[in-house]
Amino acid sequence: MLAIHCPLCGERPYTEFRYGGDASKRRPALGTMAPEAWHDYLFLFDNPKGPHREFWQHDQGCRQWLLVVRDTATNAVGEVILARNAGAGAGEGPGGR
């Protein structure tokens, strides 16, 4: 079974977590008027077969949002960090800042 190593709680089964989708996207700055920028942000996905940066929330544990790198071809989980420590380059979680 897929397990995710939460930096705060240790390795836990994925069923304790809620999936939050692609974390590689960057939300356009507020005030961006070009509809294409919002369209691409909301609707287009790289959908790679390989390493995928994604959000998971440990909602039956510490409730932190995490940024996980998982290989979609094998399910091997690589780096896991707290999403709030991911810095601006990581994009923003489903809940925003």
| Residues near Zn ion (CB under 5 A) | 6, 8-9, 58, 61-62
Separation between Cα atoms, residue 89 and residue 26, nearest integer Å:
8
> Cβ closer to Zn ion: 66 or 90?
66
The DSSP code for 18 is E
Separation between Cα atoms, residue 86 and residue 91, nearest integer Å:
8
Residue 61 interacting entry, from other proteins, Zn ion, none, C-beta within 5 to 8 Å by type: Zn ion
Instruction: Tokens for 52, please give them.
Output: 């995928």
- The distance of closest approach from Cβ of residue 97 to other proteins in the complex, given in angstroms and rounded to an integer, is 19
Separation between Cα atoms, residue 75 and residue 62, nearest integer Å:
23
Residues that bind other proteins (CB under 8 A): 1-2, 13-15, 19, 21-22, 35-36, 39-40, 42-47, 49, 52, 54, 70, 72-75
Q: Of 6, 20, 40, which is closest to residue 96 (Cα–Cα)?
A: 20
> Cβ closer to Zn ion: 37 or 82?
82
> Cβ closer to Zn ion: 37 or 69?
69
- The distance of closest approach from Cβ of residue 31 to other proteins in the complex, given in angstroms and rounded to an integer, is 20
How many of the other CB atoms lie within 10 Å of CB of 52? 20
